[in-house]
């Protein structure tokens, strides 16, 4: 995994949404997700993407980032904290956008895809597994960076991440 920096994506009244930008990559993880999912030609997939973006806005402006609004697909075995955005608002969608909820006011968006239909776990789905695994690895790196406090820390209110966008975080 390359070094990365965080980028602010959305600033809503209740939630700040960040994403990861790997060194040497043209797009952030979230921008890559939007580009790939936006290129889908299936009308249901386009609707699911629009619903997901609307859910991010609703969570950000109305509710705050509480775990009950997200799909819990945490990888406890590997100590990852990746969850999917969101489940409460998109009950039938197979679209998975992985994220890390750092607090009710701060979320890191990663990447994702459409999960294979049926009773298959994210870890076993060929489409979402790479994104799920990477998201879980990133949650561990971000938690360690917050603990170290050198490249990433909270402001005094614990509602804003403080970091230098020119100083990458090393995995």
**Mean pLDDT value of segment 60-78:** 82
12-67 pLDDT, tens digit each: 999 999 999 999 999 999 999 999 998 878 888 888 999 999 999 999 999 999 98
Question: What pLDDT is stored for residue 40 in this prediction?
Answer: 76
Task: Say whether pLDDT at 78 is over 70.
Answer: no
Beta strands 106-114 and 95-103, pairing class:
antiparallel
CA–CA distances in Å: residue 52 to residues 5, 37, 44: 24, 11, 12
The span from the first CA to the last CA of the chain, in angstroms, equals 7
Can you tell me whether residue 71 is helix, strand or coil?
strand
20-32 pLDDT, tens digit each: 999 999 999 999 9
Q: What is the pTM of this model?
A: 0.92
Question: At which residue do the structure tokens 């609307």 appear?
Answer: 54
Question: What pLDDT is stored for residue 19 in this prediction?
Answer: 98
């Amino acid at each position: 995994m390359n070094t990365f920096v965080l980028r602010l994506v959305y600033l809503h009244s209740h939630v700040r949404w960040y994403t990861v930008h790997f060194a040497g990559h043209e797009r952030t993880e979230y921008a890559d997700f939007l580009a790939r999912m936006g290129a889908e030609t299936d009308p249901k997939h386009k609707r699911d993407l629009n619903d997901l973006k609307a859910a991010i806005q609703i969570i950000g402006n109305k509710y705050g980032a509480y775990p009950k609004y997200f799909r819990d697909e945490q990888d406890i075995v590997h100590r990852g904290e990746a969850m999917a955005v969101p489940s409460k608002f998109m009950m039938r969608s197979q679209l998975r956008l992985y994220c890390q909820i750092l607090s009710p006011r701060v979320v890191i968006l990663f990447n994702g895809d459409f999960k294979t239909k049926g009773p298959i776990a994210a870890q076993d789905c060929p489409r979402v597994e790479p994104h799920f695994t990477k998201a879980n690895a990133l949650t561990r790196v971000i938690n360690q960076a917050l603990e170290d406090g050198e490249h990433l820390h909270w402001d005094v209110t614990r509602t804003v991440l403080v970091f230098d966008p020119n100083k990458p975080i090393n995995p």
